[in-house]
Amino acid sequence: MTDSEKQSKTLDAVAIQKILPHRYPFLLVDRIIEIDPPKIVGIKNVTLNEPFFNGHFPGHPIMPGVLILEAMAQTGGILLFDTQERPEDKLVYFTGIDKVKFRRPVVPGDQLRFEMEMLKVKRSICRMRGQALVDGQLACEAELSAAVVEKKE
């Protein structure tokens, strides 16, 4: 993350792509609106154009819970990269999920707000807690674990 991005405390989609390796259709965070370690807040605008809605479910589109968790992990990954030297040479691997609860369906037109908090970082391993909210209502909550690894050439 550049010094100007750290100072602004927000990241648009272009800046996010400079940090995360994910690309369409798997980049699931549209904007970071707050970075204040150990916390970060990200946004995902859910539209009917999402490719997963073709099969989940026809005539009754609901965002898959695993993708909500992935979006939470991507948001947390941005915060985790901020703790690393030379993050451009590294990847974040999702290593565990605990205490997951889905509270409401996420449908086209919703805006997900991911609020993630780093609970523990020890070298390249971290644990974070997060929530996904829609209009202030809890859609999902979980504790996530991740590891930072070197990119292979």
- Say what the pLDDT of residue 38 is: 96
Q: Cis link prior to 38 (omega < 30° from 0)?
A: yes
Looking at 56, 90, 104, 129, which residue is catalytic? 56
Q: Which are the contacts of 47, defined by CB distance < 8 A and separation ≥ 6? A: 108, 109
The answer to whether residue 35 scores a pLDDT higher than 60 is yes
The answer to whether residue 134 scores a pLDDT higher than 50 is yes
CATH number at residue 116: 3.10.129.10
Residue reference for tokens 């509270």: 103
Count of residues for the chain?
153
116 vs 119: CA distance, rounded Å: 9
Residue range 144-153: mean pLDDT, rounded: 91
76 vs 144: CA distance, rounded Å: 9
The two structure tokens encoding residue 31: 């904007």
pLDDT, tens digit (0-9, with 9 covering 90-100), for 71-128: 999 999 999 988 888 888 899 999 999 999 999 999 999 999 999 999 999 988 999 9
**22 assigned to active site:** no
Residue type, 113: R
User: Distance between the two ends of the chain, CA-based, in angstroms?
Assistant: 22
Domain span including residue 37:
3-150
77 vs 147: CA distance, rounded Å: 9
The two structure tokens encoding residue 151: 């990119």
**Which range, 119-123, 135-139, 149-153, has the best average confidence (pLDDT)?**
135-139
Number of domains observed in the structure of the chain = 1
pLDDT, tens digit (0-9, with 9 covering 90-100), for 1-11: 555 444 458 99
